[in-house]
Amino acid sequence: MKQLYGSAIIVSGPSGVGKSTLCGKALQALPEIKFSISCTTRNPRGSEQNGVEYFFLSHQEFEKRIANDEFVEHAEVFGNYYGTLKSQLLDPVKNGYDVFLDIDIQGAMQIREACKKDQLLANVCEFIFIVPPSLQILEARLRGRATDSEEQLALRIGKAKHELSFANLYDYIIVNDNLELAAEEMLSLISSFKLSTKRRQWEE
């Protein structure tokens, strides 16, 4: 048997679904997992450090790397670039490590597209979407935690609905109802990814 690659685990979910809590809980059981760090051109805030929260790049550097096709996904938000270097996903998996990427839907869908043109990327990426038990429960959660006006809340709910419509384009869906159970499901998935013939092969 030969383990050829680790997995690149790409996780999205709508605002209010509890993605960070769920991922945090699951990943503390996996100390070996790597985290993909994004690049941005915005300035560091507070105690943010280069190579920890983000790689902080100049506009010029970021655009050079776009031109070199180094990003597996990127976007411009309020005049700043954000993006994930292909190497952030491929370097760990080539060394047998799993790498975790918490990313918005637009970014995940760009990576999906990139997989069509890059066989290695296609072999290592697995897409997981976190959903709430129901839209009503998500709405209640957003309502409960937010200090938003009704108008802002309606916008958030509309956005969440739109985001949820992408769930079925991912490979797997985890329902975040019971946190313990959802974390176990994520661990089962990550463990099952290792067993796929996309990443391990029998050799005599």
Pick 66 or 181: Cβ nearer a second copy: 181
Contact between 146 and 139 under an 8 Å Cβ cutoff? The reply is no
Please count the residues of this chain forming the interface with a second copy, following the rule CB under 8 A. Answer: 29
Asked if 54 touches a second copy (CB under 8 A), the answer is no
Considering the complex, what minimum distance in angstroms separates the CB of residue 30 from a second copy?
A: 13
- Residue 66 C-beta-side C-alpha neighbours within 13 Å: 17
Considering the complex, what minimum distance in angstroms separates the CB of residue 99 from a second copy?
A: 18
Asked if 191 touches a second copy (CB under 8 A), the answer is yes
Positive or negative, the Cα torsion across 178, 184, 190, 192? negative
Closest listed residue to residue 108, CA positions, set 39, 13, 5: 13
The two tokens of residue 196 are 């796929």
Q: Exactly one of 20, 161, 162, 178 binds a second copy (CB under 8 A); which one?
A: 161
For tokens 């790498």, name the residue: 99
- Residue 22 C-beta-side C-alpha neighbours within 13 Å: 27
* Region of 63-71, 88-96, 143-151, 193-201 interacting with a second copy (CB under 8 A): 193-201
Contact between 71 and 111 under an 8 Å Cβ cutoff? The reply is no
Asked if 140 touches a second copy (CB under 8 A), the answer is no
Asked if 5 touches a second copy (CB under 8 A), the answer is no
Residues contacting residue 16 through CB under 8 Å, at least 6 positions apart: 132, 138, 141, 142, 145, 156, 160
Closest listed residue to residue 126, CA positions, set 36, 6, 16, 40: 6
* Region of 63-71, 82-90, 109-117, 164-172 interacting with a second copy (CB under 8 A): 164-172
Asked if 1 touches a second copy (CB under 8 A), the answer is yes
Q: Exactly one of 39, 108, 131, 157 binds a second copy (CB under 8 A); which one?
A: 131
* Region of 34-42, 69-77, 104-112, 161-169 interacting with a second copy (CB under 8 A): 161-169
Q: Exactly one of 47, 167, 179, 180 binds a second copy (CB under 8 A); which one?
A: 167
Q: Which residues bind a second copy (CB under 8 A)?
A: 1, 129, 131, 133, 135, 161, 164-165, 167-175, 185, 188-189, 191-192, 195-197, 200-202, 204
